[in-house]
A and B are shown apart, each in its own frame.
Chain A
Amino acid sequence: MRALLTREAPMDLTINGKAVHADAQADMPLLWVLRDQLHLTGTKFGCGVAACGACTVHVDGQALRSCVTPASALVGKDIRTIESLGSAEQPHALQLAWIAEQVPQCGYCQSGMLMAAAALLERKAHPSDADIDAAMTNICRCGTYQRVRAAIHRAAGTPQIATAQAAPLASKAAAVTV
């Protein structure tokens, strides 16, 4: 089993609409094929355990955390990275909204944020706050969250909420020692 996994095998991937040939072991995550073999560095490493979302790409239109997904499992699928989300001439509506709302700070998590948001809008053109809460589980240490929410609403043309009063209780918020 170990030998099978460690043997490098050629694989044909479809990345950003192009056929790409890669040599990778069967268990090599897509993230590292993208970053270190194809030099598509827009997709980031953050945690390696699918907890932070910095590595989010699209596979057949769905958001996927590439740090734990072997590239070999994605042969024949349509893989899209931040590099293909719009272009200089025709930016994606989210990219324009991101700038209009001045979302990024350090910017490191923003590729993943944008890819998660784009997948959300593909699925649901007019997301509610609850939809955004559920879909956007990426971690940002700079705290850009409320601008991320505003930018998604802006791109989708949905109304902004005034406050988070109406937002549902976070499932992850933990018990206080009272």
Chain B
Amino acid sequence: MKRRTWILSALGATGALVVGWGVMPARSRLGTPDNMLATQDEVALNGWIKIAKDGAVVLAMPRSEMGQGVHTALSMLVAEELDVPLTQVRLEQAGPDAIYGNVVMFLGSLPFHPLDSEGGAKPTSVKAGEWIVGKLGRELGIIATGGSSSVSDGWEPLRMAAATARASLVGAAAAQWKVPASEITMQLGKLQHASGKSGHYGEFARAGAGTSPGTVAPKERKDWKLIGTSAPRTDLVGKTNGSATFGLDVRLPEMLFAAVRLSPMLGGSAASLDTKAALALPGVQQVVALDALHGSSAGFAVVAKTTWHARQGAQAVTAQWQQRAQGGLDTQHIAAALQSQLDKESGFTFFEQGDIAAAEKSGSKVIEASYTAPYLAHATMEPMNCTAQVKDGKVEIWAPTQIPSSARAAAAKAAGVDAEKVVVHVTLLGGGFGRRLEVDFIAQAVKVAMATGGKPVQLSWSREEDMGHDFYRPMHAARLKATLDAQGQVQSLRIKSAGDAIAPRWMERAVPLLAGPVDMPDKTTSEGLFDLPYGFKHQHMAHVATTMGVPVGFWRSVGHSHNAFFSESFIDELAGATQTDPLEFRRSLLQGAPRYLAVLNLAAEQAKWGSALPAGHARGIALHESFGSIVAEVAEVSVQDGMVRVHRVVCAIDCGTVVNPGIVAQQMESAVVFGLSAALWGKIDIVAGVVQQNNFTNYPMLQLAQAPVVETHIVSSTRKPGGVGEPGLPPLAPAVSNALFALSGKRLRSLPLVTQASTSTST
């Protein structure tokens, strides 16, 4: 296998840093008590754990809850080590310190083939890449939630922090009771000794803070009581009685509301604004012009006494909009340009194996196909918003953000102050899906708050603004080519894809520190194509990175979301070409990937692959690895009177060690429904710079009546935890499409699967 040494040479740019680090131990993520908020009634034992007077455990929470259950899962790690009921873990938002940075999210950007890490020892190139990026991640300490990484990133540091706190508490009790520490047990929040002595943690917190924990190790797997159970989520009461606070629910004294209107032409701006009529409306106070900020289009915000007054005002402004200097964007032109780039360019090789040229020359039969996927919007239920107050040189923001580190930096830049002057309050997120890794709406809120004389202002986007000014999943196209040998066996697979890279554009907007002068090859463009588990002898996967100009961003499961559709549909085509059952065909190619095979088999078995179905129904299967987890899905579909219906989706997942199987099942259900809306109907069209879809009426979503039954089966594993929020999505579109092929004999090679003209809704 060819070593992908380019990443190392790319990182050579930071060589000087690396030399300096080489002699330093990896930065500890345990932190110190002063990383946490000092209060009267709580004692911090390290940077993650405080013990409250009443014995409750307070956990510093750096990850954003956007539905994926991370507040519950991370609390479980700590409750396990400290032997407290889950409900006795309270959350405190983590501060900005580097110990809270997400290291695993950045490790996920390394373009290594997952099979490299399947066996025993990892190749040197993988180890070196992980070492450098791991170190970089710890030094930068970027606090972010994304890449299905929260549990795998928190797995070691949180358990270590809680185990350290545990050791200090036990040590303090041992000293006070004058008994050996080894004789003290912890149960349900209490320290106990056989002599009858007992006390809750709050009684030993102060003494514990002064007690060295000694050498600490987390509990052994066999001693787990909580990890691995479907503990109820801790965030549901507020989410069933209206009291949960999302970004839009922040209410502050004297708060004003602002509505945003941006150039309807992406990247455009206002040549002139006539605000007279708007300012004459009741409740409207002022109009603030907005430059293009962190990748957004330019426009303006109207400040008023309620959101509704502000939106009325925004509509009353007469704006002369102008296109971006490079001219208006058009998705039809972009689709054609991708094909012509595929004709002309060879792209960057992400993976090669064997001798593809020779294999193609000697092959006796060639199978080729061309696939495409459209731009997509995130359409979080809670539209973009941020509340900000700028007063006395200080900035305070309340934001539903996936990346507080960048939000803080963006707020500081917008206000022209140092980051130390900015306080970020992270609210609950009404969905994220990658959209809230952007900071355009943060900077807008701060800019507006600078004009309101110190009064706080809640800036929010209408649904139309949200859909029309997203950072879209990029349009991609791929050409796949396989050759069969004389015996009719597939001997080679070549994939060339084209589409915009996300990571370099995102870094420019959200983490400029990481943005380089030239684009590095971006793993997200080719993930799901270059990293297949199938044992084709000769492989070649390349990507042509384009710059079409449409703002593109991370969309739940990113490159995998469309690339799995390309690769797993084509695998089905190859099964057909070799007259093999799709399940059997995959099995025959997975001899070198036993974990993948086990997941595939589990899904097939649970779905009763091959058994009889009602007339007019058919099954399709797909298998895909992403974010450290392997998922197989079997979809059962029918088409009646021209209507596609997905009845049931059986999922099997190997996500390593499972913290909460109930949450894993929730995330599989979520990914299936999210993926199905996109697979059937999702499509963003741009004409003369203007996004044509603007609300759920023409960017339709699956509703309850159309939702399939989703079953989840989990492979038992003792590996480190993998991701859960995203991996269920990539196999969905190909499983459905493969089922439709089984039903109709027609292969669908473009997303969405259902024609746009017939998706008009009638709610």
- Listed in ascending order, the chain A residues whose CB lies under 8 Å from chain B are 6-8, 25, 28-29, 31-32, 35-37, 39-52, 54, 81-83, 85-86, 88, 91, 95, 98-99, 102-111, 114, 132-134, 136-149, 162-165, 167-178
Contact = CB atoms under 8 A, between A and B. Distances in A.
B679 to A, nearest CB: 11
Contacts of B182: none
Given A28-B308, A106-B66, A133 B705 contact: yes
B251 A146 contact: no
Interface stretch (B148-156, B233-241, B361-369, B404-412): B233-241
Contacts of A133: 704-705
Contact of A141 (B68, B428, B674, B695): B674
A133 B237 CA distance: 25
A12 B643 CA distance: 48
A32 B670 CA distance: 30
A109 B430 CA distance: 8
Interface residues of B, number: 91
A102 B306 contact: no
B282 A141 contact: no
A175 B758 contact: yes
Contacts of A139: 381, 696, 701, 703
A177 B463 contact: no
B306 to A, nearest CB: 4
B383 to A, nearest CB: 7
Contacts of B674: 141-143
- Top 7 A-B pairs ranked by shortest CB distance? A42-B242, A143-B673, A108-B430, A107-B239, A106-B67, A105-B67, A82-B242
B683 to A, nearest CB: 12
25 contacts: A35-B307, A36-B305, A36-B308, A39-B251, A48-B695, A83-B242, A99-B237, A104-B233, A106-B65, A106-B429, A141-B379, A142-B431, A142-B673, A142-B674, A143-B669, A147-B666, A148-B704, A164-B648, A169-B645, A172-B700, A174-B760, A175-B755, A175-B758, A178-B744, A178-B746
Nearest to B639: A176
Contacts of A52: 381, 696, 701
Interface in B639-655: 639-645, 647-648
A6 B248 contact: no
A37 B647 CA distance: 44
B428 A36 contact: no
Contacts of B644: 173-176
B279 to A, nearest CB: 13
Contacts of A39: 251
B707 interface: yes
Contacts of B641: 169
B249 A41 contact: yes
A145 B707 contact: yes
B251, B703, B746: residue with the most chain A Cβ atoms closer than 10 Å: B703
Interface in B641-686: 641-645, 647-648, 662, 666, 669-674, 680-681
Contacts of B700: 172
Given A42-B241, A47-B696, A164-B707, A143 B381 contact: no
A142 B670 contact: yes
Contacts of A163: 647-648, 709
Contact of A178 (B244, B306, B740): B740
B430 A106 contact: yes
A146 B239 contact: no
A49 B681 contact: no
B708 interface: yes
B282 A25 contact: yes
B67 A142 contact: yes
Nearest to A52: B696
Contact of A111 (B242, B248, B379): B242
Given A46-B383, A171-B705, A176-B748, 13 more contacts: A8-B282, A35-B248, A45-B248, A95-B241, A99-B237, A104-B240, A139-B696, A141-B380, A141-B433, A143-B673, A147-B666, A163-B709, A172-B700
B67 A107 contact: yes
Nearest to B748: A177
Contacts of B428: 106-107
Contacts of A137: 703-705, 763
Interface in B716-762: 740, 744, 746, 748, 753-755, 758-762
A112 B141 CA distance: 38
A174 B673 contact: no
A81 B243 CA distance: 12
A170 B645 contact: yes
A7 B430 CA distance: 34
A78 B381 CA distance: 27
Contacts of B273: none
Residue in A28, A31, A142 with the greatest tally of chain B CB atoms within 10 Å: A142
A169 to B, nearest CB: 5
B350 to A, nearest CB: 31
Contacts of B662: 102
B456 to A, nearest CB: 13
Contacts of B281: 6
A109 B98 CA distance: 34
A139 B707 CA distance: 11
A85 to B, nearest CB: 7
Contact of B643 (A108, A114, A169, A177): A169
